[in-house]
Amino acid sequence: MPPEKESTVVPLSKRKIACKDCSLFQICLPVGITGEELERLEQIIQRRRPVKRGDHLYHGGDSFRSIYAVRSGSIKSYVPTESGNEQVTGFHLPGELLGLDAIVHKTHPCSAKALETASVCEIPYEEFELLSNELPVLHRQLIALMSKEIFEEEIHTILLGKKSAEERLAAYLYSISSRYYRRGFSATEFYLSMSRNDIGNYLGLAVETVSRMFTRFQDDGLLSVERKHIVIHDLIRLKTMAGAVPGKCGERFFCLKNS
């Protein structure tokens, strides 16, 4: 192990990887930010030292300072409830933002915990806001990402309000699969970083129900599951089982006819 001093001299947080060299650049900053604009943004972004499994990025009730972008690993958002339970409100994979729900009240309504070792970019919000006033493209990007989050929460509402246990798990797995695929990973084979408990909680189901559904899916030949390791054999069928989701179907939205 190198002497304490050396690691202090070159702390991890200083070993910056430029946004432009980040594999998530297209996901995190899809709008055309270039050259000088990007450099100025990078000046305010802080790369935090990797967070270890179980570490918190923030707790419910903490005052709001920054939003965060996941670079690697995965983060769970949850609201602790009075009874000592929690409600999981989301999982954040690389390229995704968290903390947007804290802007209004300048306080984090939920806690964020690493499900595995993860690295995260911290974007101090005040500085980001100041910079955005000069670079409107940043505002536009933030607003688009927030709109997306609202949209996705609506999808989750449909899931919780209308879908059966089977549809919920299918929709969940399909969502995870799509998100990994978009980031260049396999859509059909991945490790779930969250426990069955977390999945059940997020989907509004008991753990046991989640387990049973995994078993059923495996018996049906839809996928193979061994603990956290998932291999999907029939992605199309999985998507079908997940049921209707609002969004583009080909180039049109579905069911305009019914509305």
Partner DNA sequence: TGGGAGTAGTGACAAATATCAATTATATTT
Partner DNA sequence: AAATATAATTGATATTTGTCACTACTCCCA
> Which parts of this chain interact with DNA (CB under 7 A)?
53, 164-166, 195-197, 204-212, 214-215, 225-228
C-alpha 91: how far from chain center: 5
Helices within the chain (DSSP H only): 4-9, 25-28, 35-44, 125-134, 136-162, 165-182, 196-203, 207-219, 235-242
13-21, 44-52, 78-86, 216-224 -> range binding a second copy (CB under 8 A): 78-86
| For DNA, the closer CB: 47 or 196 | 196
The residue (of 6 and 226) whose beta carbon lies closer to DNA is 226
What residues are paired with 120 via a beta bridge?
A: 70
242 binds a second copy (CB under 8 A): no
- By a kind-dependent CB cut-off of 5 to 8 A, residue 101 interacts, out of a second copy, DNA, none, with a second copy
| Cβ-Cβ contacts under 8 Å for 61 (sequence gap 6 or more) | 107, 108
CA distance 58 to 243: 35
Nearest-angstrom CA–CA distance, 134 and 130 = 7
Q: Among a second copy, DNA, none, what binds residue 212 when CB lies within 5 to 8 Å by partner kind?
A: DNA
In terms of CB distance, is 46 or 209 closer to DNA?
Answer: 209
Q: State in angstroms the smallest separation of the CB of 186 from a second copy.
A: 26
User: What single string gives the DSSP state of each residue in 68-103?
Assistant: EEEEES-EEEEEE-TTS-EEEEEEE-TT-EE-GGGT
> By the criterion CB under 8 A, which residues form the site for a second copy?
56, 59-61, 79-87, 89, 100-105, 107, 109-111, 129, 132-133, 136, 139-140, 142-151, 153-154, 156-158, 160-162, 201-204, 244, 246-248, 252-256, 258-259
